[in-house]
Amino acid sequence: MAAVQVLSTEMVVPAEATPGAAVWLSNLDLAARRGYTPTVYFYRPNGEHAGFFAADAVKDSLARALVAFYPLAGRLGLDGARRVQIDCTGEGAVFVTARSDHYALEDLMNEFVPCGEMRDLFVPPTPTPNPPCVLLLAQVTYLRCGGVVLGLAMHHSVVDARSAALFVETWASVARGSTKEDAPVPPSFDHRLLAARQERAVPYDHPEYKPEPAPVHAATAASTYASALITVSKQQVSALRARCAGASTFRAVVALVWQCACRARGLPLDAETRLYSMIDMRPRLAPPLPQGYFGNAVIRTSTVATVGEVVSNPVDYGARRARAATSQGDDYARSLVDYLDGVDVMNLPRSGISRAHLRAISWMGMSLSDADFGWGAPSFMGPALMYYSGFVYVMNAAGKEGALTLALSLEPESMPEFRKVFAHELARLDV
- What is the per-residue pLDDT across 369-384, written as a single tens digit (0 to 9) for each? 789 999 999 999 999 9
- Please report, for the chain, the start and end positions of each structural domain, with discontinuous segments joined by +: 5-194, 214-430
> Number of helices and strands (H, E) in the chain?
11, 16
> Residue 261 and residue 359: Cα distance in Å, rounded?
11
Segment 148-162, tens digit of pLDDT: 999 999 999 999 999
Cis peptide bond prior to 287, omega within 30° of 0: yes
Confidence category of residue 220, pLDDT binned at 50, 70, 90: very low
Would 5-194 and 214-430 be classified into the same CATH topology? Answer: yes
What average pLDDT does the chain have?
90
Q: Which of 155, 156, 206, 357 is catalytic?
A: 156
pLDDT band, very low/low/confident/very high, at 12 (cuts 50, 70, 90): very high
Q: Considering 60, 120, 370, 372, which one is annotated as catalytic?
A: 372
Q: Taking the model in full, what pTM does it have?
A: 0.93
With a pLDDT cut of 90, the percent of the chain lying above it is: 76
> Mind spelling out the 3-state secondary structure of 124-167?
CCCCCCCCCEECEEEEEEEECCCCEEEEEEEECCCCCHHHHHHH
Number of Cβ within a 10 Å radius of residue 45: 18
DSSP alpha helices (H): ranges in 142-248? 161-175, 234-243
User: pLDDT at position 49, please?
Assistant: 65
**Is 372 a residue of the active site?**
yes
Q: What percent of the chain has pLDDT over 70?
A: 94
| pLDDT surpasses 50 at 216 | no
Q: Is the dihedral of CA 16, 22, 23, 29 positive or negative?
A: positive
Which pLDDT value is given to residue 263?
Answer: 95
CATH class of 214-430: alpha beta
Distance CA 154, CA 24 (A): 18
Over residues 343-358, the mean pLDDT reads 78
pLDDT tens digits along 299-330: 999 999 999 999 999 999 999 998 877 788 89
206 is catalytic: no
Q: How confident is the model at residue 348 (pLDDT cuts 50, 70, 90)?
A: confident
**pLDDT over 60 (residue 217):** no
**Residue bearing the bigger pLDDT, 212 or 258:** 258
Residue-wise pLDDT for 276-293, tens only, equals: 999 899 998 999 999 999
Q: Residues 346, 157, 127, CA angle at the centre, nearest 5°?
A: 95
Give the Cα separation of 151 and 145 in Å (integer): 18
Higher-pLDDT residue of 352 and 57 is: 57
Task: Let me know if domain 5-194 sits in CATH 3.30.559.10.
Answer: yes
